[in-house]
Amino acid sequence: MDNSSVSTLNSRQECSDAVHRLIQQAEQQVAIFSQELEPLLYNHAEICEMLSALARKNKHSMVRILAQQTKTVATEGHCLIHLSQRLSSYVSIRIPSTPELQRFRESWLIIDNHSICEINNPDRYEGKVIEHDRLHVKPQLEFFDHAWENSQPDQYTRRLSL
C-alpha cells in the first residue's frame, strides 16, 4: 500500500502511544497476543472505552485476546477482563493450550488485518509498528488465528455467576 509505514519502538511510552493510536484507528477487529495483558499498555480506561465502543459498533466487531498468564492481573483487576465479562459476545480472552504457543514471548496488537504493533521484547518495550501493510500482517494474523484455534477459555477471566 502507498500509505504504509514502519516505526521503531524503544520505550514504554512509545509502545503505549502506538497501542493507543492503533486501537483508535480500529474499525472492526482487534487481535491481541500478550504475555500478561500488559497492564502498562492496556489497563487504561481510555483503551477499554475505545475497545468497548468498537465492540458495540456493529455485529461483526470482534476483540480477541490471547494471554499467556492472567492470574496476577485478574487478582489485581484489569479493565480488559471487566470488558470481556461485560461484552462477552464481542470481547474474548483465551489462553494458549499447546506447548509451542505457551512459549511464545512476543506481544502483538493487530487491527483490521492491516496494521500491527509487534513488541518483540515486552520486558524492555522494544518492537515496531507496521501500519497499513496487509502483506506483512497476513502471516502474523494467520499465526494468531492458529493460536486462537488452539486455545481455551481462561479460568481466571471468566465471569462467575451466582
pLDDT tens digits, 88-146: 899 999 999 888 888 888 999 999 999 999 999 888 899 999 999 999 999 999 999 99
Render pLDDT for 138-150 as a digit per residue (tens, 0 to 9).
999 999 999 999 9
Give dist(CA 114, CA 128) in Å, integer.
Answer: 14
Render pLDDT for 24-41 as a digit per residue (tens, 0 to 9).
999 999 999 999 999 999
Global pTM?
A: 0.92
Establish if 39 belongs to a structural domain.
Answer: yes
Counted domains in the chain: 1
Establish if 140 belongs to a structural domain.
Answer: yes
Q: What is the CATH number of the domain that holds 15?
A: 3.30.870.10
Establish if 161 belongs to a structural domain.
Answer: no
The partner residues of 131 in beta bridges, in order of sequence, read 5
Establish if 56 belongs to a structural domain.
Answer: yes
Establish if 101 belongs to a structural domain.
Answer: yes
| C-alpha dihedral sign at 66, 96, 129, 119 | positive
Which residues span the domain enclosing 110? 5-153
